[in-house]
Amino acid sequence: MKTRRTFLGLLAGATATALAVSSPSAAETLTIGIVSATTGPLAAPGKFQLNGFKLAAEEVNAKGGVAVGGKTYKVELKIYDTHCNAAAGASAMQRLASVDKVPVVLGELCSSVAAAEAPIAKDFKLPLILTVPTGPSLTRGGNPYLFRVNSHAALLNKGLAAFIAKNGWSPISYIAWNNDAGRGGVRTLGAQLPKNIKNAYTGYFNVGEVDFSSHISNIRAKKAKAVVLLMDEEPGSLAIKQIRSAGLNIQLIGTLAMGSNRFLKRLDKKTIAGMVQYSAFPPKADVLRIKNFSARYEKKYGEEAHGFAAQSYDGLMIALAAMKNGGTVTDKSRIREELAKIDYTGVMGKIRFDKNGQASPPVYITEWCADGTRKILAPKDAVAGCGKG
């Protein structure tokens, strides 16, 4: 109880912004809770997450709203900025549950924040749908009110580990964020690599650090054949610039954040040609569901679609589908039951939750081509040439 009182004491510090999306006046309002980082050093990826939620809400409302239990509702998003801070996340969840009394909460950007929010969701029997955090342990805690649309780190790295082994890139090195995402990525990828792939060097850096010279020196000294960059677009581009400026000719391996045109603009096609990365959403793939979403996203936001946005779009649509199937926008337990048995095909593909509330959408491996486009290398049934990744 002391911990809960501490969280409640933080309520005044949470930043809330309500987003109302216009829809027919005859419709009632359905308020959905959203938690993400809208300010701070991780506001950029948070923006992509919010873009997905906003696009979903706007499209639903533009079609007249969502029909549930004989009534039609417009969707309104109650957005809280958690700053990628566990205390702020817990505070926001407390407020959404006890003050705003929303029927479901979606979002979160950071695994550590999601870990602080999940027990509160369980206490209040409030469904929490994660759309970005990758910490594997989040959906292994037996929390029946926690669901995750996106793949966790072990699922993301499964195909990548096989690809690294196939190419014989050994010894391998890592430069990773000094947080749950970075350390979790190193741990899960390393655990899935065969024993013949040796680890030459692992280095961590804090959010905001911009000098990677010491890591590069260690990678060179250890004669690593490849470097895995477990970070976002901005530090990733800085690290690659410094790696190439140091004359280090090494195979680059990145995350989904490094498989977009935004990343290309930070560097150039010559610098990243041959770089591979895992991807939850190759925006140029010749797949109808992906092509349609990419076109709508680009029209709305003026840039290439992002995996975080696609995952979040599907997350909100799944929440609405569960309410529709259950015939309620207020019975949280009923909504949870419908989420547990949902069978939904969205932008990401087929989404069904296992007994732990974890979905397993497709994961791809893409490679940068010499002409500045991308191709898909895996899985086998999705392989496509340059310009299709």
DSSP string, 322-348: HHHHHT-SS-HHHHHHHHHT--EEETT
Of 327, 276, 285, nearest in space to 304 by CA: 285
Dihedral angle, C-alpha 330, 332, 337, 342, nearest 10 ° = 70
Same domain membership, residue 377 and residue 231: yes
pLDDT at residue 180 in the model: 84
69 falls within a domain: yes
Burial of 47 (0-12, 13-18, 19+ CB in 10 A): middle
Same domain membership, residue 347 and residue 261: no
Q: How many domains does the chain have?
A: 2
How many whole angstroms separate alpha carbon 114 and alpha carbon 171? 34
Sort strands 15-20 and 71-81 into parallel, antiparallel or unpaired. Answer: antiparallel
356 falls within a domain: no
Same domain membership, residue 65 and residue 206: no
389 falls within a domain: no
Across the chain, which distance is largest between two alpha carbons, in Å? 68
Show Cβ contacts of residue 146 under 8 Å, excluding neighbours closer than 6 positions.
118, 121, 122, 128, 130, 138, 139, 357
Same domain membership, residue 193 and residue 79: no
388 falls within a domain: no
Token couple for 266: 């930070």
Same domain membership, residue 332 and residue 275: no
Give the E-state strand segments of the chain in sequence order.
Answer: 15-20, 28-36, 66-68, 71-81, 105-107, 128-130, 146-148, 172-177, 199-205, 226-230, 251-254, 276-279, 344-346, 349-351, 364-368, 374-378
pLDDT at residue 207 in the model: 87
Same domain membership, residue 142 and residue 55: yes
Which domain does 270 fall in, by range?
A: 154-279+364-382
Same domain membership, residue 63 and residue 189: no
Q: Residue 252 is part of a domain; what is its CATH number?
A: 3.40.50.2300
Of 167, 150, 242, 152, nearest in space to 203 by CA: 242
pLDDT at residue 382 in the model: 94
Please list the alpha-helical segments (H only) found in 173-287: 180-192, 213-221, 233-245, 261-266, 269-272
Same domain membership, residue 266 and residue 306: no
Same domain membership, residue 371 and residue 332: no
Of 267, 235, 214, 293, nearest in space to 55 by CA: 293
Quick check: helix, strand or coil at residue 242?
Answer: helix
Same domain membership, residue 369 and residue 226: yes
How many whole angstroms separate alpha carbon 131 and alpha carbon 314? 8
25 falls within a domain: yes
Please give the chain's pLDDT, 389 residues, in tens. Answer: 444 433 334 333 444 433 334 334 467 999 999 999 999 988 999 999 999 999 999 999 999 999 999 999 999 999 999 999 999 999 999 999 999 999 999 999 999 999 999 999 999 999 999 999 999 999 999 999 999 999 999 999 999 999 999 999 999 999 999 988 899 899 999 999 999 999 999 999 998 899 999 999 999 999 999 999 999 999 999 999 999 999 999 999 999 889 999 999 999 999 999 999 999 999 999 999 999 999 999 999 999 999 999 999 999 999 999 999 999 999 999 999 999 999 999 999 999 999 999 999 999 999 999 999 999 999 999 999 999 99
Please give the angle made by the CA atoms of 141, 35 and 182, to the nearest 5 degrees: 60
pLDDT at residue 204 in the model: 98
How many whole angstroms separate alpha carbon 132 and alpha carbon 110? 7
Same domain membership, residue 202 and residue 81: no
Residue carrying the six token digits 């000719």: 249
